[in-house]
Chains A and B, each alone.
Chain A
Amino acid sequence: MSATVTADQRLSQAKRITVGYGFWIFLLSDIVMFACFFATYAVLVGATDGGPDGRQLFHLDGVAIETACLLASSFTCGLASMAAGNRNAITFYVAMAMTLGLGAVFLGMEATEFLSMAARGAGPTRSAFLSAFFALVGCHGVHVGVGLLWLMTMVAQVYAKGFRADILRRLLCFTLFWHALDIIWVALFTVVYLIGVAP
């Protein structure tokens, strides 16, 4: 920032920092909640009660595509936030649409995986391992679903109200949320899927 900013701009930036910091604290508490689900999963991973374990259930090809989708959507979300900072509406809409599409593909693949597991008799009621699995992965999926609703809301707000300071603050929170979901997915595909099928 140059030395010639007005007091109004300075106050607006201070509010942006306060909002971003507050949302960062919320995200950390959300990550602590995920840590509880991860701890539950790690304790119960061997409790299959004679049912199928991860090695029989998980298909890494699908997980690799899901991971690629979420990583690419994190990238396009970053591009959208930069476009919003530059007041570039076309780039913003295109990047947000790509984020929405990639997130929807991720969610669809996860839903298909859950349904096929349940159809094979490996639903959440089969064993403690599967209860913990569906709770952990499902909780992340619910977060992605909420994130997609929030994304569409943000696009509508930018469309209706433009790049106002308050809209940009909400957009900052959404960007933080979406990147945090990708960080949780990194822990998730490593701990659940990769270590689950590793020799």
Chain B
Amino acid sequence: MIEPDPLPGVAEVAPGEPPAESSEQGILGYVVGLVLASGLTAVSFYITRGNLFWSPSISTALIVLAIAQMGIHLVFFLHITSGPDGTNTVLALAFGVLIVFLIIAGSLWIMANLNHNMLPMDRIMNMQR
């Protein structure tokens, strides 16, 4: 006899939990994540040292590689997916990313603006005399 569902509509997988599957598939997921993350890390270190790339483009490339690697970690290590079980987790993550973006971009913007509008330091020193 099948028991009635005590909590209908509750998701079946906790955040960070591997989806129910065989352990070979589970380990394969971690191995794929490790290989992809190592590859992205190696590329990041390589383009920093080498003279292969046009130097002003390197920092942008590094940030893109880092964001890609964080995505790899989220999918293969933390098992954050866009499936129906993960809706709340993904929504919380999206809100977190929004706050992080506002803090970093907002701080850089407002501090650059203040810096731009500030008198040069030697003139401030003269005014205080």
Contacts and interface: CB of A to CB of B under 8 A. Distances in A.
Q: Do A and B bind each other?
A: yes
Interface of A: 1, 3-7, 10-11, 13-14, 16-17, 19-21, 23-25, 28-29, 31-32, 35-36, 38-40, 42-43, 60, 64, 67-68, 71-72, 74-75, 78-79, 81-82, 85-86, 172, 175-176, 179-180, 182-183, 186-187, 189-191, 194-195, 197-199
A1 B7 CA distance: 14
Contacts of A186: 41, 66, 69-70, 73
B49 A60 contact: yes
Contacts of B82: none
Interface of B: 2-7, 10-18, 20, 23, 26-27, 30-31, 33-34, 37-38, 41, 44-45, 48-49, 55, 58-59, 62-63, 65-66, 69-70, 73-74, 77-78, 88-89, 92-93, 95-96, 99-100, 103-104, 106-108, 111
Contact of A38 (B69, B77, B78, B104): B104
Contact of B59 (A25, A72, A198): A198
B65 A43 contact: no
Given A17-B10, A75-B30, A179 B107 contact: no
A17 B62 contact: no
A82 B103 contact: no
A198 B11 CA distance: 45
Nearest to B12: A1
Chain A at the B interface: mostly helix, strand, loop or mixed? helix
Contacts of A17: 10-15
Nearest to A30: B96
Given A3-B2, A198-B62, A25 B92 contact: yes
B40 to A, nearest CB: 9
Contacts of A5: 3
B44 A28 contact: no
Chain B at the A interface: mostly helix, strand, loop or mixed? helix
Contacts of A28: 92-93, 95-96
Contact of B92 (A19, A24, A180): A24
Given A31-B100, A179-B73, A43 B15 contact: no
B99 A194 contact: no
Contacts of B44: 189-190, 194
Contacts of B62: 190, 194-195, 198
Contacts of A64: 45
A31 B2 CA distance: 43
Nearest to B31: A75
Contact of B104 (A16, A35, A195, A198): A35
